[in-house]
Amino acid sequence: MSKKHIVLHTAPHVKKPQDVPTIMRNVVYALLPIVAFAVYQFGISVLALVIVTTLACLGTERFFNWMGNKPSSLSDWSSTISGILLALTLPPGFPLWMAAVAGIAGIAIGKAVFGGIGYNVFNPALVGRAFVQAAFPVAITTWTPAFFTGRFSEFVPSSLTAPFMMPPETAEWVKQVAVDGFTGATPLSLHKFQHISTAPFDLYTGMVAGSAGETSALLILVCGLYLVIRKMMNWQIPAWIFVGVVATSGVLYLINPEKFADPVFMLFSGGLMLGAMFMASDMVGSPLTPKGVMIYGLLIGFLTVLIRQFGSLSEGIMYAILLGNAMTPLIDTWTQPRLFGARRKSA
């Protein structure tokens, strides 16, 4: 009589045919149309920006692999995503040497010090962006007009600034190359500092200035939906962020519509769509429980509007996501469901 063996092991017992490299590779696929539109909109300066930040992230990742005597982790695509996302959050004419610094800081401070992929608390791309926001405040707020003439044959002058040198003045250059109707100011800065509104259609389609990959809300939404359909993104995270933004900005708009922006403008302007779809939804830095996801999303939406309307910066999604990342461990602790069969703690 043959003996039968029973194998016992812990969950999960049923696994999807997806691994980390597969998911990360599909995120790269989803980002490529956004990169393509950014290059079409701002030219070869953005292409160079994406190449530099991606190479800086990959090089830093490989350096820490070597320092830690670990096998190369470049094949998991996570650093590639960080490099692309970082470039998309930067101004199109951001000096390339500063972009390299941002990539190095993002991986070193935001990922390597925590132990690598799966252990980082904060989104590495946003850590890199926050680092250069503090280190180079003038360059990070210098914008390029969209669809300027000669964008496929020449760089934005500030892109090729030598290391540790001040970028050239761009005001006169903007006047010379800007297409009629386009300026270097972003919709958020125009509304916050000059009380000038931007047409919703321009926000949907990307006919505005801004960071390299944040301008076309519709394109970002479509690319994010690709990951949702492939079940590689928790759609509830961006959904709750949108709810938080609409609710908070809606209340403020009802209080004073002359001072505060309407919810539609808040939803489709700036980097909100890119941050909600591709950064806040990072599996490592976001909560695991359904209640936690709701709290996390609403918190980010609330903080984004709060920073935009009452802070000194016109944009707030970056810091809102980083604060949400910092709160994730606590949110997970607070929202853990009761174990089956366990008694509730008495008051």
Tell me the C-alpha distance between 246 and 307, whole Å: 15
Least confident range of 177-186, 203-212, 247-256, 269-278: 177-186
Q: Supply the mean pLDDT for the chain.
A: 87
pLDDT digits (tens, 9 = 90+) for 144-190: 888 888 889 889 888 888 887 766 666 555 655 655 445 557 888 88
Residue 44 pLDDT > 80, yes or no? Answer: yes
Amino acid 272: pLDDT: 94
The domain made up of 20-334 has a fold known as Ammonium transporter fold (1.10.3430)
Q: What is the pLDDT of residues 104-152, one digit of tens each?
A: 999 999 999 888 887 888 999 999 999 999 999 988 988 888 888 888 9
Tens of pLDDT along 57-95? 999 999 999 988 888 888 889 999 999 999 999 999 999
All structural domains of the chain with their residue ranges: 20-334
Give the pLDDT score at 7.
63
pTM above 0.75, yes or no: yes
User: What percentage of the chain has pLDDT greater than the value 70?
Assistant: 86
Q: What is the reported pLDDT for 146?
A: 84
